[in-house]
Structure 1
Amino acid sequence: MLSLSPTIALLLALFTVVSYAVHPVEVRGQDFVNTVTDKRLMIIGVDYQPGGQSGYNPEAKSDALSNGTVCLRDAALLQRLGVNTIRVYNVDPTVNHDECASIFNAVGIYMIIDVNSPLGGESIDRSNPASSYHVGYLGRIFGVVENFKEYPNTLAFFAANEVMNDVGTSEKNPPYIRAVQRDLKNYIKKHSKRTIPVGYSAADVRPILKDTWSYFQCAIDGKDDQSRSDFFGLNSYSWCGEDATYKSAGYDILVSMFQNSTLPVFFSEYGCNKPSGIPRVFNEVSALYGKDMTSLSGGLVYEYSQEESDYGLVQINSNTTITLRKDYDNLQSQYNKLDIKLIESTNSTAEEIKPPKCDEDMIESDGFSKNFTIPDPPEGAEDLINDGIDNPKVGKIVQIKETAVPMPAYGSTGQEITNLAIKPLPNDESNTPNGETTSPSGTGSPAAPSPSKKGDAGRVEVASAWGVLVAGLLMLRIWF
């Protein structure tokens, strides 16, 4: 039997009874606002989907938030990077996500969850939206709500992503997206203890961008229109290369377009990787979080892990070790320059702006829907909304029993990152950049990746004395 010293035993007892949680966030006008501190949450985020679409495998009960050890590894690196939010694209509502959600919660990182997936029947079909809007589909997305509604770090849900990706798809789809938003919000209203924002993630298709925003931000039935978006995400890749500027990237146009928005607008994806062959320098970060763009609510860099599209901040090796790319270093350097006091200041006029009433005249482009008659819920949906889905898998925050990352991680120069661990934050804080540099100086050769061994990416379940000691020392350092 393991014998613990009095100090370690005290830290073990302390750590296992203390549970921290970030404060829930709500929408107030143009801002996301902490419901307790009243500080603005400016999204400093990263899109998180290790394995890409193939990382979502319902048959194996596997998705980006299903493995606690993987989340522990990634949360430690994302916390050091300085992010406060991740976006997760594909989740299985029948899987337990408690460990991962609790790990990200402990380090002050919020989650924006997409309710859809790339599999058939699990999203709105842009080519025939009416055929895909049925009670089976709603049951699936309501399951995602049930799964994530109890986590205080669930920031929001995306009802859809880039359904309108050209002018042709903007005719029939908008009313159905508003219908899905309405159904999600009505379900949340009846089955969640708190309001959780629901919105849309749009492609940056300039001919229809303004109309898309106008369509989703307007109110059809007055103040309580449930089909209206609570926020608007934009997947924007207009800032490309080291020579790009605020004006050449068209950021000034976006600011002008959204400055009078009646809901929060943020980049749900950004980080152009052109021209190819060079690490991204992320000099758009200083503009996005600078004084000229405070009317927007930040953004999420695409993406955490290196996949086929070549946007990764890190390389995940076959043996679950990880190597930072130069993109990670550059983004961290940019984050460390941010004026946190400025970006946490709320917009004093935001709550005074009322949403416009929906009207055909607000749509400027030919072909975009001017239909504000939202489809009725499909047969059986009202009962599902009122009574709830059968046998929901409702998540809950659990104690984190391990803080030290068990697998090696390497900086961009090959040197191993020592003592990599999450640092649970006190006082319900959200994470912020802290000025550190994660990649060690010097050069080295990371261990060659090898096939994963059984247990390499096992779940975080049992506390180790060393992990608790590290956590305790880190917490004592914060407190004193």
Structure 2
Amino acid sequence: MNFALIIINLFITYVMFASGVIKAEEFKLDYASAKPAALPPIETVGSKFFSSETGEQFFIKGIAYQPQYSLEDVSSLGIPISDTKYIDPLASPAICLRDIPHLAELGVNTIRVYAIDPTQSHDVCMEALMENGIYVLLDLSEPDASISRESPSWDVNVYQRYKDVIDAMHQYSNVLGFFAGNEVTNDRTNTDASPFVKASIRDMKEHIKDMNYRAIPIGYSTNDDVETRENLAQFFSCGNDTADFYGINMYEWCGYSSFHSSGFDKRTQEFKNYPIPVFFSEFGCNLVRPRPFTEVEALYSKQMSGVWSGGLAYMYFEEENQYGLVEIDSKNRVVRLKDYDYLRDEFNKSEPKGITKSEYLRRLGLNTGGPITKRECPSISVAWKAAEKLPDKPEKSKCDCLTNALPCLVTPFSDRSKYREYFEYVCGQVDCSDIKADGENGEYGEYSGCTPDQKLALQISKMYFNLAEQNDICPVDDRHIYFNRDSKNDQNDKECTSLIRSVQKTSKARKTDNKSLNPSKDHTSSGSHIVPKFVMGLAFVILTGSIV
């Protein structure tokens, strides 16, 4: 099938989706009986990407691809309204089929999508991308389920989200890999968040192996912060649990810069012996508009292609931040900007010279004399406070026991500051070390992988167990905190019964004054109740993994 015919077929299919003649759910493909995938999976070997079919080195020529969420766009494109705070372009044929011809002409072989809805079908868009030779890099997180730099944790909700995305997308051979985080650590003040991201990489690689999926690479995307760049790169490639690839959001080259004046020469030298594939997970400084994208020639030149595996320009859609290549007009038509033309021309004339897998393995054996040795992790310092020890895999069954069997339970607070307020109070009454999440010192409590509601319920229940009279009233007065009457029933689950008995014993670790807390009266978020300084420090570790 020639290129013109592909474009015509895509356009006809797009019109039928946009007009509602065809619905995505009616077009779902049965991959068990579908024809073999058009694209061979990409694999990582040492510091390179290779085609699993030809053994040729693979260089990413990509673009970030995520439309901004708006109710107007959702309505105009006929996208079903859901609880998500993002538009999944890979589950929206009206979007992807409109754009794929432009992506193909741009010359990209990879797109990066920052959030997808794992409950939707992605068959139509992934098949269309496959037919056009385009791979996909997917972020595992979404706005309401991610590892936060301010309050890092690796909990059951984020764990489930990451698994759901992998389970939904592993079947497509053109999924190049997954990002477990994007700029979670972005400066020296939050380096303690990195152990939680690295734990997520470890557990998702284990999940892929346990499910007998193909070995899809999982990596991390970082910013280019001068104080943390060296330690971050070392951290995600050290020890027993490493990332499969490493992306850097690189915006040092602006306008008509050069290999030396941009600092690309220094970055290339720094990553010369990096053990896993490294590439630009974003690039495209916009201080000069339209962007000439002159860095593309350097990125795929002999100066850089021996170290870097390409990169992804940011971004396809023009938005308020003015990084786009195209605009979408009121009639849902693609209007190309000058930036599109510049990037297309640069991509089309760039032909990086790589190495074959067999030759690379031969050289690797000659240079190392054997297997690659394990790298040491960075030491704790003023600018780096991330422990080598990682949190354990979250245990849903253990956390579910808390919800099912604790006497006092918590419903989610819309005001997130309430969690800090209540943790500060209850951790002055009972020992909260079992929910501690301290990425700096590598100290993680038994229940640190549970949700904030479960953690708070656990500590309030300890206060309840310390009451002289245990009636059906919890010791904290708030409409989000309630007594669980089912907790008085005999538990059929022996594990849960044993767990609750253990909690009852540990509740005596710090004596309570048996006072109720009513934030609407005596105790408010302005800090009207006094908490000892060391208790506030512990509460902050629980919430953020840091010590103040």
TM-score (norm 2): 0.61
Q: Counterparts of 1:183 and 1:53 in 2: how far apart (Å)?
A: 34
Structure 2 match to 1:473: none
RMSD: 2.5
Structure 1 match to 2:58: 41
Alignment of 1:46-445 (within 5 A): 46-51=63-68, 58-59=82-83, 62-119=87-144, 122-130=145-153, 133-170=154-191, 172-218=192-238, 220=239, 225=240, 227-242=241-256, 244-275=257-288, 278-294=289-305, 295-340=307-352, 342-343=353-354, 348=360, 349=363, 356-359=373-376, 362-363=378-379, 366-380=382-396
SS at match of 2:349: coil
Given that 1:217 and 1:355 are in contact with CA atoms closer than 8 Å, whether structure 2 keeps it comes out as no
Q: Counterparts of 2:397 and 2:114 in 1: how far apart (Å)?
A: 24
Q: Which has the larger radius of gyration?
A: 2
Given that 1:215 and 1:363 are in contact with CA atoms closer than 8 Å, whether structure 2 keeps it comes out as no
Unaligned runs of 5+ in 2: 1-33, 75-80, 401-548
Among the aligned pairs, what percent are the same residue? 37
Q: Counterparts of 1:211 and 1:356 in 2: how far apart (Å)?
A: 18
Q: Structure 1, residues 18-75: CA drift from partner, whole Å, max 9, x if none?
A: 7652000110011111111001110000011022698897427941211113211211
SS at match of 1:26: strand
- How many Å apart are 1:343 and its aligned residue? 4.1
Q: Structure 1, residues 197-256: CA drift from partner, whole Å, max 9, x if none?
A: 0000001101110110000011x2xxxx3x3100000001000122x1101110011111
- How many Å apart are 1:370 and its aligned residue? 4.8
- How many Å apart are 1:193 and its aligned residue? 2.8
Q: Counterparts of 2:54 and 2:387 in 1: how far apart (Å)?
A: 40
Residue type matched to 2:94 in 1?
Answer: T
Structure 2 match to 1:413: none
SS at match of 1:207: coil
Q: 2:48 aligns with which of 14, 19, 31?
A: 31
Could you say which structure has the higher helix fraction?
Answer: 2
Given that 1:42 and 1:344 are in contact with CA atoms closer than 8 Å, whether structure 2 keeps it comes out as no
Given that 1:157 and 1:199 are in contact with CA atoms closer than 8 Å, whether structure 2 keeps it comes out as yes
Q: Counterparts of 2:355 and 2:293 in 1: how far apart (Å)?
A: 21
Q: Counterparts of 1:369 and 1:358 in 2: how far apart (Å)?
A: 18
TM-score (norm 1): 0.69
Structure 1 match to 2:441: none
Higher RCO, 1 or 2 (CA under 8 Å, sep at least 6)? 1
Aligned residue-pair number: 353
- How many Å apart are 1:98 and its aligned residue? 1.0
Q: Structure 1, residues 104-124: CA drift from partner, whole Å, max 9, x if none?
A: 1111100000000122xx001
Residue type matched to 2:246 in 1?
Answer: F
Q: Counterparts of 1:279 and 1:364 in 2: how far apart (Å)?
A: 43
SS at match of 1:233: strand
Structure 2 match to 1:466: none
Given that 1:31 and 1:264 are in contact with CA atoms closer than 8 Å, whether structure 2 keeps it comes out as yes
SS at match of 1:113: strand
Given that 1:157 and 1:198 are in contact with CA atoms closer than 8 Å, whether structure 2 keeps it comes out as yes
Question: Residue 324 and residue 296 in structure 1: after superposition, are their counterparts in 2 closer, same or farther (change >3 A)?
Answer: same
Given that 2:69 and 2:87 are in contact with CA atoms closer than 8 Å, whether structure 1 keeps it comes out as no
Q: Structure 1, residues 436-463: CA drift from partner, whole Å, max 9, x if none?
A: xxxxxxxxxxxxxxxxxxxxxxxxxxxx
